[in-house]
Structure 1
Amino acid sequence: MNTEMVIKTQRLFKGILWILGIMIIVMSPANASAQCGNDPGDDSFETATPLSVCGSTPAAIDCAGDVDFYWFTVPKSGYYTIETTGSTNTTLHLYNANEDAIDSDWDSGSGTNALIIYPLASGQRYYVTVGVYAIDDTGDYTLVISGCDACGDDPGDDAFSIATPLSGCGSTPAAFDCAGDRDYYSLTAPNSGSFTFETTGYSDTILRLYDANGNTIDTDWDSGTSFNARIIATLTSGLEYFIVVFENGEDNTGDYTLVISGCTDCGDDPGDDDPATATYFGADCGTKTASIDCTDDIDVYFFDIPVDAEYTFTSTAIYDTVLSVGSGTNWVNQGSNTMTRTYTAGTRMFVKVEPDTAGQTFEYDLEITGCDGGTCGNDPGNDNLADATPLSGCGSTPAAIDCTGDLDYYWLTAPNSGSFTFETTGSIDTELRLYDSNGDSIATDDDGGAGSNARIVYTLTSGQKYSVAVNEYNNDDTGDYTLVVSGCDGGGCGNDPGNDNLADATALSGCGSTAAAIDCTSDLDYYWLNAPNSGSFTFETTGSVDTELRLYDSNGDAIATDDDGGSGYNARIVYTLVGGQKYSVAVNEHGYDATGSYTLEISGCSGGGCGNDPGND
């Protein structure tokens, strides 16, 4: 026999001896006249002390063999806790009105105290007896009864006989609104199959599932998320089941939601299953809670766009979801639970939420943001696409993300065709989006610039309207930034030597030094020369700025490039030129995010051509 069996046997034997001892004492003629003091709890059913039900009653086992009897009438149906406190090793028995024993305990309370938790029926009389474990022991105790407080009107009455009926699958908000509250629900299975019962919200729940006869089918306390409970069980169509929810320690209160899924008829939760019966999301952005409450459930909503703006649709759940947005016949999804797109006011959009893995059921939140477009302050960059701030062309525009969720829009008409750079500078983590003239997103970037700045390089078409949006990456921070646009006529940065496109490149007379500057981020300086002779030429920069060089032939095709071939972070290209041919060279800062002076030096003319010192070259 193993240790556990030995302990159980010893405990059972001790319990039998204790019960026999009590029976001998109670039935003994001598005991009939042995009144142990005047403490509450007379010593027989006939003379039991009446209680006003819940509360504390100090008393004592004040002679060997003393057993105290009490009775009370239950004010409301529900679970009641009957326990003793004190240092005496007590026992408890609970009897019905017919004086039949229905429960007993001797060590489930604190220390050596007794504890009984039992569902009692409204209007019925019950008896409680208090004794001691060792028959010849004496001592003080307090009898405490609780459960009388009506635990609110939340769904889930507190006994099988008055369990709250559920119409099927879905979510039921409720609460543990007093210590010891137990909520009972009943469900008639609408179909046969696997059902999931789970709680969300309160972090320490216990679930029990019972059949129609009150037999336990399963119990759980931490298989759900964050110590919530979850039971998955196979139910039979047409049979009644009971679900009981209670707090793990039965000593705290708090809100919870009971979620049931598995019905083949997917309930009345928000999000009907096709565009024709789609659920109206509402007139404004916000969050809705619903559930994928049966296998193959797909929830569809419709939303009328209130203002021209960029909108983000997000579904959040314990399992992966797939979210799609579209017209109801044509859907766009990115294979994830979120999507950001720009829409025009008055457009009706449909949003579809479905599980990523077939067969899963769960609760989710659907959130739509973007209705206010940002509306943060008066900094440049109005907060919706329709009222975007116009830009006159390339250059730098200081602005700010001056409230969380701020979204700044700008627009410009491309002055020329070619590669344009849109980037931010500053310490805030920015995100950029570029839109075409139809408001469709054509490029996006998060950290392509310096640090956590964003940078988009895109080929624009002359005369076309483009818009750019700037936001903080997580929409939860604020800070200053500068939007820098370059590419107009190649850059357009100041009047330093080196015009900013290939067609208007600054002419060089030959070899020598040309002082210039990268005088705005993304500045691009172009120069050209006719090779005075055939041979090896060197193009290099000097200075402290980190430069990059590109060499082009007469057709404008790049034939050589370099970043750090010179001293420090300077660039150097050594290339064989053909006498009489036109060549161009471009200088830019390597990261397009810094400025500074540089000198462009070219050597190789007539084999060197270095001054008039003695010794021609």
Structure 2
Amino acid sequence: MTLTVNAAAVNASINATGEEDWYKFQSSTAGNYTIRTYGSLDTYMYLFQSDQSTLITENDDGVGVGYNSVITRSLTANTWYYIKIKGYNGTRIGDYSVDVKKQTETIITLIVDAPAVNAAISATGEEDWYKFQTSTAGNYTIRTYGSLDTYMYLFQTDQSTLITENDDGVGVGYNSVITRNLTANTWYYVKIKGYNGIRIGDYSVDVKKQTETIITLIVDAAALNAAISLTGEEDWYKFQTSTAGNYTIRTYGSLDTYMYLFQSDQSTLITENDDGVGVGYNSVITQNLAANTWYYVKIKGYNGTRIGDYSVDVKKQTESIGTLIVDAPAVSAAISTAGEEDWFKFLIITAGTYTIQTYGNLDTYMYLYQGDQSTLIIYDDDAGVGQGSNAGITLNLNANTWYYAKVKEYNSTITGNYTIDIKSQPVVTLTLDTPPHEDAISIIGEEDWFKFQTNTAGNYTIQTYGNLNTYMYLYQNDLITVISVDNDGSDIGYNSKITQNLNANTWYFIRLRENSGTSTGSYSIDVQSPTSTVTLTVDAPAINASIIAVGEEDWFKFKTGIAGSYLIQTYGNLDTYMFLYENDRITVIAENDDVNRPGGNYNSMIRSNLSASTWYYVKIKSYDGIRTGEYSIDVKKETETVATLAVDAPPTEASISIPGEQDWYKFQTSTAGLYIIETYGTLDTYMYLYGNDQTTLIAENDDIAHTPDSRLHNSRISINLNANTWYYIKIREYHSTVTGNYSLDVIYEYIGQPPKKLKGYSRDGAIILNWSVPLLVSPTSYNVYWSESENGTYTLMSNVLINSVTYNGNLGLRWYYVTAIYPGIGESGPSNKVSVSPFFASQIVVDAPPINDAISTPGENDWYKFQTGTAGIYTIVTYGDLDTYMELYQSDQTMLAFDDDDGPGLEKNAGISISLRANTWYYVKVREYSTTAVGSYSIDVKGPLASFVTLTVDSPPINVAISAALENDWYRFQTITAGTYTIHTYGELDTYMYLYQSDLNTLTLIAENDDAPGSGRSSGITMNLSPNIWYYVLIIGYHNYATGNYSIDVKTQPVELLTVNATPADAIISTPGENNWFKFLTNSTGYYTIQTYGNLDTYMYLYQSDMISLVSKNDDGIGTGYNASIIQYLNAETWYYVRIIEHNPAITGVYSIDVKNDASKSIGIGTNIKEDALIVPSSSDILIYPNPASDYINLVLPGDFNNLIRLEIMDLSGKQIANQNLKKDQQINKTISVQDLPSGLYFVKIVFSDRIVLEKFIKE
């Protein structure tokens, strides 16, 4: 329906819930128009632009008119506008009427420096307009007076371009004040309204011209005294340079000043400064200026609000530009005053790579410029020799060109001496797959540079050889971007080794130095391409090969057929050393020097149980790296035999005759019961027990003491087995590198037997003994005997009723054994003997399959030990249903770390990731978390991060597989910029994903996921990550037992631009769990509203410009249903980022979003909140005590509610200090710490679905 402006009200009605009535009207002239409803119906009104979709404003209840809606708005001439009216909340029905009135208004002319003009805001939404004309350029002040809380806008001559705005001028209460430097002979427009558009009352307004001059400063003269006497006042100065160079303009005194330096046009800003380094509130600008040029300086009080006295001067800095000669000795220099900058220049004759380097203890910062001394090429802090305080820049430079270097102290606060030079860097070209290049670090601190060109894409290995402890950097072809660094390669001691996936037909650069920067010596280096690997065929004849150069390494690969034991060995007179790697060519499976067989002392051999249909890599080198000669190599699939053991028969003699050999046995049970499978002898054995399919692992064991002369090398499995069933046993030597004899038997436990599996350990100052309970006939009690020595006289210590005992106090080292008292039988023979020292530890092999174990007694501690190989991050993890607690110790029992539930898989598993030293023993203690439960678990240790597969952001997914239960796949990727990244798996495998952050010492879990929304079994994590950081990803099969193929990738999320006060932008959540990112640039300081629209249930996050620091978040904006809304006080000219997700990650849909900077500044006011709900409630609404408070407040909200949304704490500016989402029926009675808040007035805000309640408190 069309409404006529200034006509009688039109009668209408809302007849059904949810009904909406639409109207349109056309404005005639520009100005204020009022749309108003009448009657008893509680209406809600919206005003739209002529497109009928762009919302201008909305209103529930006009001030003072009960349930009727009123909108007063300044509108454009000759334009159609649309009105939508509904019953409040969409549920009210009834009759109403509506009309549109044009407000009579004029633009009043203000005379500069005339008395104030009296005026009034007589209606809500009314706006008064004024204009004035300047005479001369300068500072003008427009100010209101009176009790009305005004809000003022200053516009350009077009009456639309906003110059600035102001609410409350400093020190003048509710009045507005604007002081601005304006152009001469120009008309300006002023708009004044009541604060929030709802305040009415009388006021007056005037315009005053500030008396000002531009004062001339004389360079090197005494400082001039001056003052800022009014808020917003700006003082102007000018000075003329004589010669080119550094000039310093500085203020003095107690006034907190802010200074601007302009070009001679008085408008082009050169630089600005708040507080000069080390001089408190004073401003300091030091700038390199041109000769014989006028410059202008503007000084104001900080924030335009400070007033007071100050003085200012300009000084010419005495300086010279030192000349550096390429490859000449270093030049001595010094930073003698804080903030000083030294300049140097040098001429490059021949194009090439050059290094500009500082030396000494001064923490220097260096800038490199083009020949114009202003175009910055690159800068550096600590890339110089030693990686400490020295600066160093290495770069390709052009021939016959001057360059400039600027050096300062890092913080501009310290002084000291340093030296500087420029050196030409010879870059040696390395040819792929050729013998190593011989070179040397001949001078302490020297760095060598190399380059090579790839042929095909793939993994390239760059490696050094020799006794020099090298440190290697791999760069992109810009010689700046570091791809990877390495100190000591995983299997090569002091030598460096980088294996990296590189692009085809690309140049890469290598920088090499001695690790400590204090030694010299020789080394060699080579680059191996992906195509340098020779393929071996399983069970084919041996192929001939040779080591023809010192330090050379030969690479081979082969693919297995079926799973099983494979034998890789060399033949010939060359003393070889062999490494076996996983298919990533990084993870070492095994290594071997000399095989123990006739004529084979120099040959290498590795026997290993390998997976089916998998590629493996073999590296062969000479034993000491300096031998050369010929050899041959092959790979054989081994045929395995199974020996039969008889239960309760004498031990069977056997041997491991070849390193890596595995012996198989089988035995058949007759009756169900407890069986003990045990090895004897000096060989360090490792035992596996399998079911009758020879595949299903039932149990495994490394070491257990069982006789007085045992040396913890024998294996033992005690387990309850079924009757008339075949079981299989596999025995290997623990390290798979040693040979020797052992014996083995299988025993069935009997009635009246001695106690078995006696354990002794120390815990918290107590000595604890426990042993297994016979399953057939339980003893009535046990006798515990002790002795000072293993073979000494044993004395009865105590009789106990259960199979454990604890003795308090420090009894020292003692030996113990236990006997059992059986009903009708009497005392059994002795158990095995144990000596109680700090602990007994079962050995874990790094990167071996998990060891199965159990907590069989409440409070029991299991101890393990493992030895590191190379230094790096090691991960110790438990698996299974038992809720484990883990502690990691050094060999001197110093605790390094502990963990409860950070392990992968079930929440009950423990996991520790930590950086450990090389070739060192560490000990692990595992207990059940509550010390009251028992159960089984398994444990393993994984090696350093070098074994992680690198993912490239935004590259195609890589195909991988979980091929065995309990397998862990590790990945890493490096972010480029801050933002949202998504790590996702694909395929049929049910994966579980963990995301870690690393400080290079520990791995910290930051997120985990089972099934990504809408993706079935695949895992996905979408998260806001920091720039230039390595992150690590762990993938396991769900619950550790799922196996199969999958793929994985890492993707960045795009960021869309929002313009403040523009039409809402359309957006879509198109895939479940998707994150949408937006950014916007604020124009002025003030309150901004970020709002979504539509039917999608959005959730909004607002971030600082780093995309990480959270400013605020919101689910459902007050009164807007599913839409999210944030009202926040934001800084001027600052980028902010917004992240939008669907509240339910499984849902998708469309929405729109915009940013407005005309939001209300009242704390928590939403556009749909009724004014009568915005109250400061009495103590019966919110009870806060003590008030004032110093350390904490108690917060109580009496009553029962079912529409609570959120609790917030804010300061006077409206800045949110803290927030907490509430359950809708939550009872509020809590204590909140405020001890870290500055003294001042604060508000507690509780948001309901239909209102907001506030209460204030004072922090002392």
Q: What is the TM-score normalised by the length of structure 1?
A: 0.42
Q: What is the TM-score normalised by the length of structure 2?
A: 0.22
Give the structure with the higher percent helix. 1
